[in-house]
Structure 1
Amino acid sequence: MIYDQPVLLNERQAGVAIEGALKQNIIAIQRLAVDTHGFTHFAMAAAKLLGFDLAPRLADLASRKLFLPHDVSVPASLEPMVERVGVSRAAREGWDGLLHLILSLKNGHGSAATIIARHGSAAKGMPVYEAGTLLGKVLRSLFLLDYLVKPVFRREVHRVLGQGESVHQLQRAIFAGRIEAKHARNLREVAATSGALTLLTNIVMAWNTAAMQKVVDREGADRFPAEHLGHIAPVAFRHINMHGKLHFPIEHYAGVAVAGRRQA
Structure 2
Amino acid sequence: MAELLSTYAALLAHGTEIDAKGIAAMIPGIDAAQVSLAMRGLETHGRLRRANEVVAEFQGKIPLATHWGTGNKASADMMSLDVSRHLWIARVDPRRRTYATGIYTHVLDKWGIVYDQPIVLNERQAGVAIEGVEQHNRSEDRIRLSLLAVDTHGYTNAALALAKGLNFDLCPRLRDLAERKLYLPAAFKVPEGIERVTTKRLSLRAIRLGWDDFLRVLASIRIGRISAELAMQRLGSAARTNKAHKAAEHLGRLLRSIFLCDYVTIEDFRREIHTLLSRGESVHQLQRAIHAGRVPHERGRRGDEMTAISGAHALLTNIVLAWNTHRMNDVVERLRKGGTNIEDAWLRRMGPGHFGHINFRGILSFGVERYIDALIQGRRATIRQAMA
Partner of 2:117: 5
Alpha-carbon offset, residue 228 of structure 1: 4.1
Aligned mates of 1:210, 1:237 — CA distance in 2: 14
Residues 116 and 132, structure 2, Cα contact 8 Å, conserved in 1: yes
After superposition, where does 1:101-112 map in structure 2 within 5 Å?
Answer: 101-112=217-228
Aligned mates of 2:188, 2:345 — CA distance in 1: 40
Matched, 1:243 2:361: yes
Partner of 2:132: 20
Partner of 2:201: 85
TM-score when scaled to structure 1?
0.87
Residues 159 and 231, structure 1, Cα contact 8 Å, conserved in 2: no
Q: Which has the higher contact order (CA 8 A, sep 6+)?
A: 2
Alpha-carbon offset, residue 21 of structure 1: 0.7
Partner of 1:183: 299
Say which of 177, 197, 207 aligns to 2:323.
Answer: 207
Matched, 1:169 2:281: no
Listed one character per residue, the Cα deviations across residues 152-173 of structure 1 (whole Å, up to 9, x for unaligned) are: 1100000000001111111111
Residues 13 and 39, structure 1, Cα contact 8 Å, conserved in 2: yes
Three-state SS of the structure 2 residue aligned to 1:5 is strand
Partner of 1:98: 214
Alpha-carbon offset, residue 225 of structure 1: 4.3
Residues 16 and 112, structure 1, Cα contact 8 Å, conserved in 2: yes
The answer to which of 104-113 and 44-53 deviates more is: 104-113
Alpha-carbon offset, residue 182 of structure 1: 2.2
Amino acid paired to 1:106: R
Partner of 1:157: 273
More helix per residue:
1
After superposition, where does 1:46-85 map in structure 2 within 5 Å?
Answer: 46-85=162-201
Alpha-carbon offset, residue 115 of structure 1: 1.2
Say which of 173, 189, 194 aligns to 2:310.
Answer: 194
Three-state SS of the structure 2 residue aligned to 1:201 is helix
Three-state SS of the structure 2 residue aligned to 1:6 is strand
Cα RMSD, aligned residues only: 1.9
The answer to which of 80-89 and 153-162 deviates more is: 80-89
Aligned mates of 1:63, 1:21 — CA distance in 2: 29
Gaps of 5+ in 2: 1-112, 364-388
Partner of 1:259: none
Three-state SS of the structure 2 residue aligned to 1:85 is strand
Aligned mates of 1:40, 1:52 — CA distance in 2: 15
- Identity within the alignment, %: 49
Amino acid paired to 1:4: D
Gaps of 5+ in 1: 246-264
Aligned mates of 1:224, 1:121 — CA distance in 2: 53
Three-state SS of the structure 1 residue aligned to 2:284 is helix
Matched, 1:35 2:147: no
Residues 66 and 141, structure 1, Cα contact 8 Å, conserved in 2: yes
Alpha-carbon offset, residue 113 of structure 1: 1.2
Residues 90 and 125, structure 1, Cα contact 8 Å, conserved in 2: no
Three-state SS of the structure 2 residue aligned to 1:59 is coil
Three-state SS of the structure 2 residue aligned to 1:3 is strand
After superposition, where does 1:111-150 map in structure 2 within 5 Å?
Answer: 111-150=227-266
Residues 183 and 254, structure 2, Cα contact 8 Å, conserved in 1: yes
Residues 92 and 127, structure 1, Cα contact 8 Å, conserved in 2: no
Residues 202 and 254, structure 2, Cα contact 8 Å, conserved in 1: no
| Bigger Rg, structure 1 or 2 | 1
More strand per residue:
2
Residues 127 and 231, structure 2, Cα contact 8 Å, conserved in 1: yes
Three-state SS of the structure 2 residue aligned to 1:72 is coil
Listed one character per residue, the Cα deviations across residues 25-57 of structure 1 (whole Å, up to 9, x for unaligned) are: 332111100001100001100111111100100
